[in-house]
């Protein structure tokens, strides 16, 4: 299966059949192989055969242009409006213009997504390119509207940090001392102190976050020994952390450079030397260093990338983008961007966020719940608690998922009698009314049909009451589930609900798997990530 069909079949939730589209008078649309049989229109869909009388059908669409409308003009106009907005001075007028353009491009996005669902065939893969244009343009508009990220303010919702059991000074003492760090209890208290107190100390917020991450493991778990242990202890002995409240952007820059040089020395003497732990602090310092070429250079040496003025790992950049689409309710674009842009960054965290976007998409569309189940089951993790969490989410989805064929009604309208229980051949003389008008204007019973209105009537052989039982579900009637029937979420305190733990560096939060919230599966709420 090539990429176009793969997108259509799995991620944009469309039919896999060669498709025409039947538009019903009630507004519903069905995509599939369409055959007209006299007064009946049959559609073979992914969910099975459906049949409607021609009186129920508004039109049959064979070309996607009939649904797309003027999306090309909308896209072109939106591009022009974006360029005009860039020339405007910052302020309310500029933001209002950007929001208007976003609203306009959303109309085009909805039209393209809907059309691609209905026309999944490879020959319509150009619709994917249109959707890519829309996605890229909306990203530019969205990021321009929220470009304050690049200037390093506090990002994300505000949370009450809580109260720590040890002071920040005691936390630094534990951080510096290998003996104290070997005590799991002291390490946990210091870690919590850094998490709580960092909000009150913007001058070393990123360093406190690095310390929090470092203290999440013991020295043995970091495999700190020999030269690696000596290097990080040497860093702790430097002046920067002795007076953390006095740190300036320039001092952060100098500290980052020192760490990079020390890592280079370690690698030169031993290519297998453990450098991940000390790198965390280098990243923390870079997160508060001045924005510029020097920071960009040092960032690349620490495995970071600078994109649109934002530092982060490839995984972190992917998580931020996917979460931005999710936060805006653009679940289809989150799913689409994963396939188009982040397949090379397909880590368990990125796949988890994508699976959640897919869940939100199918929950909104009320069908294809098997797809987020399959997505979650493809996440390869060794952590037992995480695997149990994923299994609990899968169980929660399956418990309330509605059948694609019957939409949870457990019955389907008979395709033979169209729900009428019988097949009737109307009388040719009275046209099915059972009455005729004589020459004097009086209505009399129709003689050929004896006033019945039909010549022939056959009870349907395929059903009893116009419907038959669905064979694709468990026969439990269900309504489309709300999200809280599947899972609920609470903001992750480790990343303050951002999905990335540093404030100015996109480093995906492992505690919430990059989602910014901890999900509580309805089927087993105890299986929440800790």
- What pLDDT is attached to residue 11? 44
For the cut 50, the answer to whether the pLDDT of residue 149 exceeds it is no
Which of 448, 469, 490 is where one domain is finished? 469
- What pLDDT is attached to residue 9? 41
- What pLDDT is attached to residue 164? 66
Bridge partners (DSSP) of residue 490 are 518
pLDDT tier at 435, thresholds 50, 70, 90: very high
Bridge partners (DSSP) of residue 413 are 467
pLDDT tier at 18, thresholds 50, 70, 90: low
Q: Which domain holds residue 91?
A: 1-145
Residue 442 lies in a domain: yes
Are residues 384 and 243 located together in one domain of the fold? no
Q: Which two tokens stand for residue 235?
A: 């860093």
pLDDT tier at 511, thresholds 50, 70, 90: very high
Are residues 191 and 304 located together in one domain of the fold? yes
Mean pLDDT (whole number) for 222-251: 94
For the cut 50, the answer to whether the pLDDT of residue 328 exceeds it is yes
pLDDT digits (tens, 9 = 90+) for 37-52: 888 999 998 888 999 9
Residue 73 lies in a domain: yes
Are residues 79 and 209 located together in one domain of the fold? no
As a whole number of Å, the CA-based R_g of the chain is 31
Residue 157 lies in a domain: no
DSSP at 500: B
Contacts of 481-485 with CB under 8 Å at 24 or more apart are 481/363, 481/400, 481/401, 481/402, 482/363, 483/360, 483/363, 484/522, 485/400, 485/522
197 SS3 class: helix
Structural contact between residues 307 and 342, judged by C-beta atoms closer than 8 angstroms: no
Are residues 379 and 320 located together in one domain of the fold? yes
For the cut 90, the answer to whether the pLDDT of residue 392 exceeds it is yes
The CA-atom distances, in angstroms, between 414 and each of 47, 226, 424 are 14, 76, 15
pLDDT tier at 12, thresholds 50, 70, 90: very low
Structural contact between residues 316 and 506, judged by C-beta atoms closer than 8 angstroms: yes
Residue 505 lies in a domain: yes
What contacts 288, CB < 8 A, 6 or more positions away? 152, 203, 204, 205, 206, 207, 247, 249, 252, 504
Residue 476 lies in a domain: no
Q: Is residue 59 within a helix (H) or strand (E), and if so which, with residue range? A: strand 57-61
For the cut 80, the answer to whether the pLDDT of residue 219 exceeds it is yes
pLDDT tier at 6, thresholds 50, 70, 90: very low
pLDDT tier at 17, thresholds 50, 70, 90: low
Q: What is the CATH number of the domain that holds 133?
A: 2.30.30.100
The rounded distance, in Å, linking the Cα atoms of 310 and 155 is: 12
Residue 252 lies in a domain: yes
Which of 286, 312, 338 is where one domain is finished? 312
Could you identify the residue written with the tokens 């368990």? 348
Q: Is residue 505 within a helix (H) or strand (E), and if so which, with residue range? A: strand 505-506
Bridge partners (DSSP) of residue 426 are 454
Are residues 87 and 36 located together in one domain of the fold? yes
Residue 163 lies in a domain: no
Are residues 13 and 64 located together in one domain of the fold? yes
For the cut 80, the answer to whether the pLDDT of residue 316 exceeds it is yes
* Cα 251 from chain centre: 39
Mean pLDDT (whole number) for 210-229: 95
Q: Which two tokens stand for residue 195?
A: 């998490």
Q: Is residue 468 within a helix (H) or strand (E), and if so which, with residue range? A: strand 467-469
Are residues 306 and 415 located together in one domain of the fold? no
Structural contact between residues 354 and 387, judged by C-beta atoms closer than 8 angstroms: no
94 SS3 class: helix
Structural contact between residues 19 and 32, judged by C-beta atoms closer than 8 angstroms: yes
The rounded distance, in Å, linking the Cα atoms of 399 and 340 is: 31
Total domains in the fold of the chain: 4
Write the burial class of residue 296 (CB in 10 Å: 0-12 exposed, 13-18 middle, 19+ buried): middle
Are residues 304 and 330 located together in one domain of the fold? no
DSSP at 402: P
Instruction: Kindly tell me the sign of the dihedral angle through the C-alpha atoms of 259, 261, 264, 265.
Output: negative
Are residues 128 and 263 located together in one domain of the fold? no
Mean pLDDT (whole number) for 303-324: 92
The rounded distance, in Å, linking the Cα atoms of 50 and 416 is: 10
The rounded distance, in Å, linking the Cα atoms of 257 and 388 is: 41
- What pLDDT is attached to residue 13? 47
- Closest by Cα among 332, 256, 331 to 297: 256
Are residues 353 and 492 located together in one domain of the fold? yes
474 SS3 class: coil
The rounded distance, in Å, linking the Cα atoms of 392 and 372 is: 13
The rounded distance, in Å, linking the Cα atoms of 186 and 165 is: 10
For the cut 60, the answer to whether the pLDDT of residue 285 exceeds it is yes
Are residues 1 and 103 located together in one domain of the fold? yes
The rounded distance, in Å, linking the Cα atoms of 496 and 184 is: 24
- Closest by Cα among 436, 432, 404, 430 to 420: 432
The rounded distance, in Å, linking the Cα atoms of 206 and 405 is: 51
CB atoms within 10 A of CB 154: 13
Are residues 140 and 31 located together in one domain of the fold? yes
- What pLDDT is attached to residue 165? 77
pLDDT digits (tens, 9 = 90+) for 462-503: 888 899 899 888 888 899 999 999 999 999 999 999 999 999
What contacts 202, CB < 8 A, 6 or more positions away? 154
Residue 154 lies in a domain: no
Cα torsion through 284, 272, 304, 340, rounded to 10: -140
- Closest by Cα among 336, 408, 449, 499 to 7: 336
pLDDT digits (tens, 9 = 90+) for 77-103: 999 999 998 899 988 888 889 999 999
Residue 357's φ and ψ, nearest 5 degrees, are -60, -40
Q: At what angle do helices 348-365 and 314-327 cross, to 10 degrees?
A: 10
Helices (H) and strands (E) in the chain, counts: 19, 16
The pTM (predicted TM-score) of the whole model is 0.85
Antiparallel, parallel or unpaired: β 505-506 and 310-312: parallel
* Cα 182 from chain centre: 39
């Amino acid at each position: 299966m090539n990429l176009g069909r793969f997108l259509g079949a799995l991620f944009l939730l469309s039919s896999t059949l060669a498709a025409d589209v039947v538009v019903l008078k009630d507004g519903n649309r069905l995509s599939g192989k369409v055959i007209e049989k006299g007064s009946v229109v049959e559609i073979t869909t992914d969910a099975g055969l459906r049949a409607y009388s021609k009186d129920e059908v508004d039109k049959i669409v064979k070309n996607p242009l009939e649904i797309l409308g003027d999306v090309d003009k909308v896209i072109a106009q939106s591009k022009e409006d974006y360029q005009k907005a860039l020339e405007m001075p910052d302020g309310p007028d500029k933001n209002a213009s950007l929001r208007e353009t976003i609203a306009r491009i959303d109309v085009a996005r909805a039209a393209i997504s809907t059309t691609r669902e209905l026309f999944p065939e490879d020959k319509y893969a150009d619709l994917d390119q249109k959707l890519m244009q829309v996605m890229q343009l909306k990203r530019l508009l969205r990021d321009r509207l929220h470009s304050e990220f690049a200037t390093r303010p506090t990002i994300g919702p505000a949370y009450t940090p809580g109260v720590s059991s040890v002071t920040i000074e005691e936390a630094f003492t534990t951080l510096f001392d290998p003996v104290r760090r070997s005590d799991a209890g002291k390490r946990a208290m210091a870690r919590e102190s850094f998490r709580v107190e960092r909000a009150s100390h913007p001058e070393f917020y990123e360093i406190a976050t690095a310390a929090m991450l470092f203290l999440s493991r013991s020295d043995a778990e970091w495999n700190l020994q020999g030269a690696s242990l000596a290097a990080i202890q040497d860093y702790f002995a430097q002046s920067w952390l002795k007076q953390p409240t006095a740190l300036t952007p320039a001092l952060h820059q100098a500290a980052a450079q020192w760490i990079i040089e020390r890592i280079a020395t370690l690698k030169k003497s031993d290519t297998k030397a453990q450098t991940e732990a000390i790198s965390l602090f280098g990243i923390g310092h870079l997160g508060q260093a001045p924005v510029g070429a020097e920071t960009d250079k040092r960032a690349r040496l620490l495995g970071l990338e600078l994109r649109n003025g934002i530092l982060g790992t490839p995984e972190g950049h992917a998580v931020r983008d996917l979460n931005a689409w999710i936060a805006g309710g653009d679940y289809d674009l989150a799913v689409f961007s994963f396939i188009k842009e982040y397949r090379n960054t397909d880590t368990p965290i990125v796949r988890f966020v994508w699976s959640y976007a897919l869940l939100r998409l199918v929950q909104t569309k009320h069908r294809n719940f098997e797809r987020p189940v399959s997505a979650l089951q493809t996440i390869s993790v060794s952590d037992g608690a995480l695997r149990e969490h994923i299994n609990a989410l899968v169980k929660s989805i399956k418990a309330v998922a509605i059948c694609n064929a019957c939409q949870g009604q457990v019955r389907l309208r008979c395709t033979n009698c169209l729900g009428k229980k019988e097949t009737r051949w109307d009388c040719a003389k009275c046209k099915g009314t059972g009455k005729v008008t004589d020459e004097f204007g009086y209505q009399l019973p129709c003689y050929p049909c004896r006033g019945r209105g039909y010549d022939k009537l056959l009870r349907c052989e395929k059903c009893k009451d116009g419907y038959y039982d669905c064979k694709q579900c468990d026969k439990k009637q269900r309504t489309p589930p709300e999200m809280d029937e599947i899972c609920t979420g609470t903001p992750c305190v480790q990343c303050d609900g951002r999905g990335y733990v540093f404030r100015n560096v996109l480093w995906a939060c492992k505690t919430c798997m990059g989602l910014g919230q901890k999900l509580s599966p309805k089927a087993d709420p105890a299986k929440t990530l800790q």
